Chain A
């Protein structure tokens, strides 16, 4: 059974600082997704990482995947308040397999 562990679960950052969210998963997964969720809202797709060593960047967010270590990271550069949200990682197996979500990291960026 695929289990996903994210840490930290809560992250309070100051604007302008950098930080990394970690996502560990228990069994082989060939692709991994990162999602953002604002309170009471739906899940917004951020990145899909399809292979070992994959790195994707969008704005102040950069995600990477190490399938051998079963680890993905989401790095935040020079945080701004608009990044405040909950971030989920979700590995999956096979094409169109179901997503298994971590508990999420609630990020709060303060001025």
Chain B
């Protein structure tokens, strides 16, 4: 167990639907990162939060949004889902000054 908890582990949903992925960082880590891994795009950085505030944005689609709550857990919301959104979504957390620990991921399948 890495200490970063992601739920659910698997998700199957239909096109056009909306889903929420959840991430609890390691205790004490203020930074949370979301990554998408697919066969064609590889590992893509989506977004970073630090202590509740958005810090950096990567290749995140407008249909996707995220937030970090006061207890530091984070949620990634994916809406109007398309077949191409099927991927493994990872969350990572980071303590100061360095080091990143990844969760086990959520495998999203859009049918």
A residues apposed to B, CB below 8 Å: 31, 33, 35, 40-43, 45, 48, 50, 88, 95-104
Contact = CB atoms under 8 A, between A and B. Distances in A.
A99 B45 contact: yes
A102 B43 CA distance: 8
A33 B45 contact: no
- Chain B interface SS verdict (over half): strand
Interface centre among A35, A101, A102, A103 (most CB of B within 10 A): A101
12 contacts: A40-B107, A43-B92, A48-B99, A88-B43, A96-B31, A96-B94, A96-B96, A98-B45, A99-B35, A99-B100, A104-B42, A104-B43
Interface of B: 2, 31, 33, 35, 42-45, 48, 50, 56, 58, 88, 90, 92, 94, 96-105, 107
B100 A45 contact: yes
In the A-B complex, the 9 residue pairs with the smallest Cβ-Cβ separation, listed nearest first, are A101-B43, A43-B102, A95-B97, A98-B45, A42-B104, A42-B102, A96-B31, A96-B94, A103-B42
